[in-house]
């Protein structure tokens, strides 16, 4: 399905998909950049700030909300 059809779908704020990225800080940053380059995210502001993952020691996380 192309992105132009996705824009026509009725999606409320509560029904938006969340993609959680968990890994080392470098892995998280690399994946955020990769999502942007591959146009899975139209802007880096769609990601939450990188924070330590509360359930994985030494790991960091961000969430992409689409």
Tell me the average confidence (pLDDT) per consecutive run of 10 residues in the chain, 66 residues long: 60 77 96 94 91 92 90
Cα Rg of the chain, angstroms: 13
What is the reported pLDDT for 24?
96
Q: Which among 44, 26, 7 is positioned nearest to 64, based on CA atoms?
A: 44
3-class secondary structure, 12: coil
pTM: 0.73
């Amino acid at each position: 399905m192309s992105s132009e059809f996705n824009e026509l779908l009725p999606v409320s704020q509560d029904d938006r998909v969340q993609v959680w990225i968990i890994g080392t800080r470098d892995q998280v940053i690399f994946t955020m950049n990769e999502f942007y380059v591959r146009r899975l995210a139209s802007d880096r502001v769609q990601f939450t700030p990188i924070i330590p993952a509360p359930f994985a020691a030494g790991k960091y996380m961000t969430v992409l909300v689409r």
